[in-house]
Amino acid sequence: MSKIAKKRLLFAGKMLFSGTLMVLLYRKIPAGDLTSLLASLDLSFLPLILVLLFFNTAASALKWRLFLLADGVDIPLRTLTVTYLIGSFYNLFLPSNIGGDSYRIYDIAKKSKSGVRSAASVFADRLSGFIALVILSLLSSVLVARQFGNLLFFLVPLIILLLLLAVLTALVKEQPVRIFLAVTRLNRFPLLTGLAEKFFASFQVYGSSRTLLVQVMAISFAFQLSVIVIVWLLALSLHAQIAFFYFSAFVPLITLLEALPISIFGLGLRDVGYIFFFGWAGMSELQTRSLALLFFAVAVGYSLIGGLLHLGRTLTTSKEEKNT
């Protein structure tokens, strides 16, 4: 089987997985009730949601630029912002909600002439974001665990945080990764070991600057907190009145869940997260499903901006090629 055929088969499998979950989750919910609730949306929160979405994009591009600059790659913030938006558009078609990272790596690698440094910056961007995300969840999970008398609400984000810190430690210390390559005998491939050494070099650069670490973590916390606020505002627009700390505890876990590369754009997985977690918080089945659909609609609508930018880039490139 060719690589293209395998990719198509994998994509079809993920589509089937997402579609099956969606059918199972929504088949017992009357379409009329969903439509009525969504039609009663309080649109007064929309302007603030849009502001937060644009803030998130700018903040993410700035954090990415800081990593690249530290590693000797100078790409204008405007270019990174556009690439970030286009990457968000690619998320609509690639596995999980981080599939667009492959486009980000590819695009900046072309401009910087360094694929490894591009990949390292994107990975560091994601890892720092996930760490901030789980820390926010961990802080709020103390209240949730006490509220429900269930220690699992605290243990889950704690375990995830420890795993993320273990990954970070392995990259900084290098030796754990070298041991892994030796045990799996992947160190027999010079190309792979060479890439690993370059990746280590980038992370050594990041870790050597305390100022950089403080800056990127501050941006990461601001970004993740704004995502939580966006979901909270969407819930308010659906007239759901539950405490903010539930969103701070659950949205990070849902974000990590939809990042698993077993669905398309997190479809199905995201819905499972909203239904399960916010069902515990007291939202009705109709509200949890409506919140999941509303978040999906907002994400898709915003991602289409990246689609338009991608079209503009493609047309511009075609004109330049014709003129040369």
Flag whether 96 is in a domain: yes
- E strands present in the chain: none
How much is the pTM?
0.85
pLDDT number for residue 128? 92
Which residues are CB-neighbours of 122 under 8 A, at least 6 positions away?
64, 101, 104, 105, 108
* Lowest-pLDDT choice from 147-151, 232-236, 313-317: 313-317
Greatest mean pLDDT among 9-13, 98-102, 291-295, 311-315? 291-295
Average pLDDT across the chain, whole number: 85
Residue 210 belongs to what domain range?
Answer: 43-313
Rounded to an integer, the average pLDDT of 181-191 is: 80
Flag whether 321 is in a domain: no
pLDDT number for residue 253? 87
Confidence of residue 181 (pLDDT cuts 50, 70, 90): confident
Residue 95 bridge partners (DSSP): 264
Flag whether 194 is in a domain: yes
Token pair of 313 as six digits: 């880039």
Flag whether 1 is in a domain: no
| pLDDT higher than threshold 80 for residue 318 | no
Greatest mean pLDDT among 96-110, 114-128, 172-186, 211-225? 211-225
Which residues are CB-neighbours of 204 under 8 A, at least 6 positions away?
172
Flag whether 2 is in a domain: no
pLDDT number for residue 305? 92
Q: How does pLDDT run across 224-264, given as a tens digit for each residue?
A: 999 999 999 999 999 888 889 899 989 988 888 887 777 77
Q: Residues 20, 268: contact at Cβ < 8 Å?
A: yes
Flag whether 5 is in a domain: no
Flag whether 298 is in a domain: yes
Flag whether 14 is in a domain: no
* Lowest-pLDDT choice from 23-27, 116-120, 307-311: 23-27
| b/e map 253-278, b = 16+ CB within 10 Å | bbbbbbbeeebbbbbbbbbbbbbebb
Confidence of residue 94 (pLDDT cuts 50, 70, 90): low
Rounded to an integer, the average pLDDT of 61-87 is: 92
Confidence of residue 220 (pLDDT cuts 50, 70, 90): very high
Total structural domains within the chain: 1
